[in-house]
Amino acid sequence: MFDIDKWQEIIATIKKNKLRTFLTGFAIAWGIFMLMVLLGAGNGLSNGVGSNFEGNATNAMWIWSRETSMPYQGLKAGRRIYFDMKDYDEIKKLDDIDKISARYFSNSRTYSFSNEYGQYTTQGCHPDYRDIEKLNIDEGRFINEIDIQYKRKVVVIGKDIKEALFKGIEPVGEYLNIGGVLYKIIGVYAESDPREGAQQGLIPITTAQLIFNIGDRIHNLAVTTKDLSKKESLQIEKKIRTLLAANHKVDVNDTRAIGIYNSLENYIETMNIFKAINIFIWLIGIGTLIAGIVGVSNIMLIVVKERTKEIGIRKAIGASPSSIIGLILLESVFITLLAGYIGMLFGISLMELINFVMEQQSSAASSGDRGQFTMFLNPTVDLRIAISSLLLLVGAGTLAGYIPAKRAASIKPIEALHNE
């Protein structure tokens, strides 16, 4: 492989046919370049959409009530349905339920501390709400079962509230006035997805029911399931709907009265779409590579034809078939490897540049983009996949060069010398 004479001959051949070699190499480089761009774009789309599920558990369900749209057992349509703690207790007992929290929202209320104040919403919830929403507790702790049991006036405030009202003062242990009622601050939370912000006060659900004088009423429920398939998730959703319909005398098919959003179903369907997109991208990319490989094979056939006399002379003076095959294969592999590496390098570099520009723009605009749905994120290519693609390309290039090399080695010297 490191025979200097062979390399000198290969370089001479390439110099003699610059345009042909360039066009062949360009086809190969373009093929792997496009594969890297397509894979990067596919990863960017998949990462972008996937990141929109990070703020919540992907196996979560949100359950809410509204007005009935269908009559049921003599009851007219248009009735307003209200969930209560009985619903919470019964759903909690269902198999495959992992976490559950009732929720009650108050209207915007004045939050004040010292001379600072602002308008924020207050939400009553259970301890499991932290895991359902994937809240990060930056300081202190979250609501616990003792807070629920004794209806304590405690609050976990969002990071945004801390920054707006406390101005460098550590809030944990301080008392915050919320709508004329003092609550002891026990913790500070931040959303797992910073775009959503953290602008609520979270209090025990039992405290909310007491302060807002609503009895055992709740607004909605949030649950997570154990590790389930899509089919099993739909089955537990059906159980919940059936249970709630029976509790509130509602037709089980009345989706307006009882609404359920199943994030697992949505997540699986979305990810399946991107799996299909990735397969499509690979098919296009591989098709482009094959076109380049076919180009290599055709060029090698032309090379063999042009050098038929030369090959005949070599064989006549004792050159072995393996040496002839090796020479042609080496030229094929060299062109394929060099062009493939250049294409891979440019493709990866372009996607890294796009990713860098996007990160800079995202950092500059992060304060104004909260809640924005991300469609494109981190459009880079896994280096292992890139190298594997290059090796696959070289292997295919070797095979493409072997066919004409084998043909050249099989030519009889007398036939080669008479070739015009």
Beta strands in 8-115 (DSSP E): 60-65, 83-84, 97-105, 109-113
Most confident of 54-63, 71-80, 354-363: 71-80
Report the C-alpha gap between 156 and 2 in whole angstroms.
Answer: 71
* Helix 263-306, helix 18-51: angle, nearest 10: 170
| Model pLDDT for residues 239-256, shown as the tens digit of each residue | 999 999 999 999 999 999
Q: How confident is the model at residue 369 (pLDDT cuts 50, 70, 90)?
A: very low
Q: What is the pLDDT of residue 370?
A: 46
Q: What is the pLDDT of residue 49?
A: 67
387: amino acid identity, one letter: I
Stretch (H or E) spanning 293: helix 263-306
Domain boundaries, the chain: 4-53+268-417, 107-211
**Burial group, residue 345, by CB count within 10 angstroms (0-12, 13-18, 19+):** middle
Residue 419 above 60 pLDDT?
no
Q: In terms of Cα–Cα distance, which of 123, 151, 311, 150 is closest to 218? A: 123
> For residue 163, how far is the Cα from the chain centroid?
31
| Mean pLDDT over the full length of the chain | 82
Q: pLDDT digits over 179-234, tens only?
A: 999 999 999 998 765 545 578 999 999 999 999 999 999 999 999 988 877 788 88
Nearest CA to 91 among 223, 261, 256?
223
Q: Quote the pLDDT of residue 51.
A: 65
Please give the pLDDT value at position 234.
87
CA–CA distance, 230 with 233 (Å, rounded to integer) = 5
**What is residue 61's three-state secondary structure?**
strand
Give DSSP secondary structure letters for 144-155: -HHHHHTT--EE
The helix/strand/coil state of 312 is helix
Q: In angstroms, how far apart are the furthest CA atoms of the chain?
A: 107
| pLDDT at position 55 | 56
| CA–CA separation, 302 and 296 (whole Å) | 10
Tally of CB atoms within 10 A around 415: 11
pLDDT band at 354 (very low <50, low <70, confident <90, very high): confident
Interval 328-346: pLDDT, tens: 777 777 888 888 889 889 9
DSSP E strand boundaries for 106-206: 109-113, 116-125, 136-140, 154-158, 175-178, 181-190, 200-204
- With 70 as the cut, is the pLDDT of residue 372 above it? no
Extract the tokens encoding 66. 């509204």
DSSP element (H, E) containing 383? helix 383-409
Q: Which residue has the tokens 């590496």?
A: 341
The closest alpha carbon to 95, from 227, 236, 234, 233, belongs to 236
Backbone angles phi, psi at 124, to 5 degrees: -90, 140
Q: What sign does the CA torsion over 175, 177, 183, 188 have?
A: negative
Of 15 and 93, more confident: 93
The residue count of the chain comes to 420
CA–CA gap between residue 393 and residue 399 (Å, rounded): 10
